[in-house]
A and B are shown apart, each in its own frame.
Chain A
Amino acid sequence: MRPPRARPYVDGMNDATDPPPVLVELDRLRKEYGDTTALDDVSLTIRRGEALAVMGPSGSGKSTMLNMIAGLDRPTSGTVTVDGKEIGGLDETGRSLFRRRTISMIFQFFNLLDDLTVLDNVALAAQLAGARAPQARKRALDLLDELGIADRRDLYPATLSGGERQRAAVARALVNRPALLLADEPTGALDSQAGEQVMDLLIDLNQIGQTLLIVTHDPNLAVRCAGRIVEFADGRIVGERTLERAS
């Protein structure tokens, strides 16, 4: 197993004394489902190039927060600003376009389309963003090559291993070069070896400047991949720690 590494807060393009700009800003975010308060007065910022892990027990509100940032759900009150855009005021179509251009997600259970090959699954996101089929496929193939599963491009998801599926899902998430990559329990459905591979992949992505927000139960994943860890309980942030930066 590779040792835990602290992540750089900024990419190489920025002056070390100049903090990177804020990519995500949650301001007094509150979400209620009937009588249940899922998020209670949550404020948080994520800067460009940062890798943030959100931890907490089930029902603590971490996935709700992730859904708010992804525009999958609307806050009851408070604001969510991503890449300078307040997404709470966007309608359904606006939020779809926002997701297409700004963020990507990877899920615990991959959520690949069973009817499409690996290549088509990855190309699909690019095509939805307006790329023509040949361009989309070329970009998809390049990414699959970088992630080491180009030889699996013509297979269907059902025939891949868990690790390969998650790599394909990561490729799909990256094909539109998102500003923010959201990962919801990305290693939760994988065996330890496949989980390690995905962790390495996330680390590598962050090293080249990809902003990450990882929701996880797994302290190992959080410590290895993130530079900052935020703890949730009962819909509130109850703790935060910054990991030592590697020299």
Chain B
Amino acid sequence: MSAVWSVVRAAVRRRRFQTLAIALVVLFSSATAVAALALLAASSEPFDRVFAEQRSAHVTVTFDAALASDADVAATAGLEGVSAAAGPFGQIATVLELPGEHGVQLPVTIAGRDDPGGPVDRVDLREGRWAEAPGEIVLSSAFADQGSSASPFQVGTDLTASDGTGFTVVGFASSFGRTAGAWVTADQMAAMGPTATQMLYRLTEHETDADIDEALAAITAAVPADAFTGAQSYLALKEDVSAELGIFLVLLTVFGILGLAVAVLIVANVVGGAVVSGLRHIGILKALGFTPRQVVLVYLAMVSLPALAGAAIGTVLGHLLATGVMADTFRDAGLGSPTVSPWADAAAFAGMPLLVVLAALAPALRAHRLSAAEAISAGGAPRSGRGLRVQRRLSGTPLPRSVSLGLGLPFARPGRTALTAAAVVLGVTTATFTAGLAAFATEVDAMIQRHEAAEVEVLGGPGGPAAESGTALGDRETEALLAGMEDVSNVTANLRMPVSALGFAKTPTLWFIRGDSSDMGFDEQLVDGRWLGAPGEAVVSSKLVHQNGVEPGDEITLELDGRTATVSVVGVVMGSGTGTVYTDWGILTGLAPDVEGLGQPIVYEVALESGTDPAAFLAAVEDEGLFGQTTRQSDATGIAVVALATAFALMLGAVAALGVFNTVALDARERRRDLAMLKSIGMTPRQVEAMMVTSMAALGVIGGLAGIGLGVLAHRQVMRLAAAASQIDMPDSLLRTWNAPLLVLLALAGLAIAVAGAYLPARRAARLTIAEALRSE
């Protein structure tokens, strides 16, 4: 066995504490790095990734089943420009109802498919199995929180369609192209009598709207006249998904970068410290006749062995963690199930030990240059001009001496202190960012859904679910019925439909609102101007401001079936990421005197008296034969992202605490003799503990304050960036998510990281046996 290897083995065995610290830090850092890299990879262009994974349709076309036969529709698969097609699938719109007195109603489009796979739209079966026999149905996972015992829909649940057909839920699936809300077998669909036929196409040319339109023209021409009833382009879907997820993808990317930064910082700190603390040992090796090259080799090998072990275990743990966390997050966000890419594993497994070697190289090369005598003398307690001055000033303060000594310790090793502080700062920045994100997610959800103002919405009108089941009340009757119900303080009706606006490249969605909407939560979303106050006025979503340059004071001319109406823009609201114009019901009746003839559903928003239970009110609504739901819907994407962010914040906090742990352990080791001397002149174990913990607590407080500042700043900037990416303007109130108790709590996070990391090595230092320490030196 070579002398180098003997020394390396002995050093690894003798310095068990340091070896363990390096292995642990690299383990945590590797796990963090794998998760961070996997997150970055999965967050990059998720639409394209999932779209490709599921081979989703570039265009989904529906035909009138009475006018086009299956053979007519199937023949379109061979058209020029169609690279793949699936279908024809029978399709029907219905309402599924849970049996029971207050059964839940689910308006849904059902498609008849025998196979979730195929050349186009490979549906992701997430739970249970595919429908194989009549009476079996697979629901879209968007309708149910899987695994949640609170969900009314589970595998095995019995449902009844509007036509009386009974179903048992056998599985949950997700179609990224949103081709249907439920699936049954083709035979079952045939038995129900489909009203439409669905055909899914992938196209060779599909980059632009014009490409899609050209393909649609060819398809329309290939089927009998008027058989074409509608189409959904993937470009519109892509825009929707980007608007929904843009903000969260930016956040996930930020977390990925933060994770990598903390991992790199901590590894550099730990390894650099390990080599510096071994300088005396290096001097002795040189004195024994080791060449400078051998000395460097000893030190690189000494830190690389535990690093390799830590990286191997950390990569495996990180892979498992990232797989689990991402599966939940991305699936809940409708982004499929990304796997941890092998390069993320490889980069962490190879990168972390490489980083360790690089971090060790600088001090090892310094050791290479030092003479044996210099190395031995450099291995003692550190000296620093600034540190000495600080100690001198602190010694004159009225603070307890153990505290003032502790406060001065970080100045003795400014480089190590800076790296440790940076890790604490990043840990607190992450915690602050996460707290801001959680508060933001809650508030933005409340603001968009307006569930504080309008607790319940009831769907009615000619296009509503009740109409499908043939039990519809008229528009005015529904409104009157709701307004007359107990505990109702206000009812507004709105009809939402796309209406052309002159000069607009894209057709906006119009909300025609009837009733007093002044207290229905729209004004909280205002980013400019005011809410509707008089007939003929309009408020636009901020997306339209970005897309069309509309501002308060401008006029918009709307056109529907040859009729036009002009509205004056008086305000801008945040909106939910779509181009929306809010105006009054009078404009609708001007554009379409026969509102019921439009066949559109009408949403009745109901504000309840304070203290009313929305669930009890909904039960009363359903007793009246209406379909209602609470506006307080769970935001699966928001919850998943906040959960992921919390997991990341905890992980980075743990890694930062590990960095502090290592710093105190190294300090205690280097100052072993000083600590023994202090104890010999009467410093109690508690005072030693206080001194060592204080040395990091001050760093924790300062790091905490800096981290809060950075976290708040980063939160604001990232939110603005994310909003800009989604072309949304946010009211300033959304960015003021911070309050004094929260900030105090976050400031304590820095202290908690520091104290948690410092406590164990400080206790160990306090238990140091004086006689042993003084003798061994």
Contact = CB atoms under 8 A, between A and B. Distances in A.
B413 to A, nearest CB: 11
B395 interface: yes
Interface string B679-711: 111111111000000000000000000000000
A172 interface: yes
Contacts of A158: 383
How big is chain A's contact interface, by range?
35 or more
A222 B775 CA distance: 22
A67 B771 CA distance: 7
B680 A72 contact: yes
Given A115-B388, A124-B395, A133-B397, A100 B381 contact: no
A175 B683 CA distance: 15
A111 B395 contact: no
Contacts of A101: 682
Interface stretch (A102-110, A192-200, A224-232): A102-110
B401 interface: yes
Given A128-B687, A133-B397, A158-B383, A115 B408 contact: yes
A160 interface: no
Given A96-B685, A129-B682, A114 B398 contact: no
Given A99-B682, A100-B682, A63 B395 contact: no
A120 interface: yes
A123 interface: yes
A132 B398 contact: yes
A133 B396 contact: yes
B152 to A, nearest CB: 63
Contact of B681 (A100, A132, A137): A100
Interface centre among B381, B401, B673, B676 (most CB of A within 10 A): B401
Contacts of A109: 777
Contact of B680 (A64, A70, A114, A127): A70
Nearest to B777: A109
Given A124-B401, A133-B395, A111 B680 contact: yes
A156 B383 CA distance: 10
B770 interface: yes
A158 B382 CA distance: 12
Contacts of B388: 115, 117, 156
B412 A115 contact: yes
Interface of A, secondary structure class, is: helix
Nearest to B766: A92
B395 A128 contact: no
A173 B392 CA distance: 20
Interface string A173-211: 100100000000000000000000000000000000000
Contacts of A125: 681-682
Interface size class on chain B is: 35 or more
B274 to A, nearest CB: 22
Contacts of A99: 680-682
A156 B684 CA distance: 25
Nearest to B688: A96
Given A104-B681, A111-B673, A133 B398 contact: yes
B547 to A, nearest CB: 64
Contacts of A176: 682
A92 B685 CA distance: 7
Contacts of A72: 680, 769-771, 774
B391 interface: yes
Contacts of A100: 681-682
A97 interface: yes
B691 to A, nearest CB: 11
A176 B683 CA distance: 13
B401 A111 contact: no
Contact of B771 (A73, A120, A123, A127): A73
Given A99-B680, A128-B683, 18 more contacts: A72-B769, A72-B771, A100-B682, A101-B682, A104-B681, A114-B381, A115-B381, A116-B392, A117-B392, A123-B395, A127-B395, A128-B401, A128-B402, A132-B398, A133-B396, A134-B396, A137-B396, A156-B388
Interface of A: 63-64, 67, 70, 72-73, 92-93, 96-97, 99-101, 104-105, 107, 109, 111-117, 120, 123-125, 127-129, 132-134, 137, 156, 158, 172-173, 176
21 contacts: A63-B771, A67-B771, A72-B769, A73-B770, A96-B682, A96-B684, A99-B680, A111-B674, A111-B774, A112-B677, A113-B678, A114-B380, A114-B383, A124-B678, A124-B681, A129-B682, A132-B398, A133-B396, A134-B396, A156-B383, A173-B681
The 8 closest A-B pairs by CB, nearest first: A100-B682, A96-B684, A111-B677, A127-B401, A67-B771, A72-B771, A72-B770, A120-B395
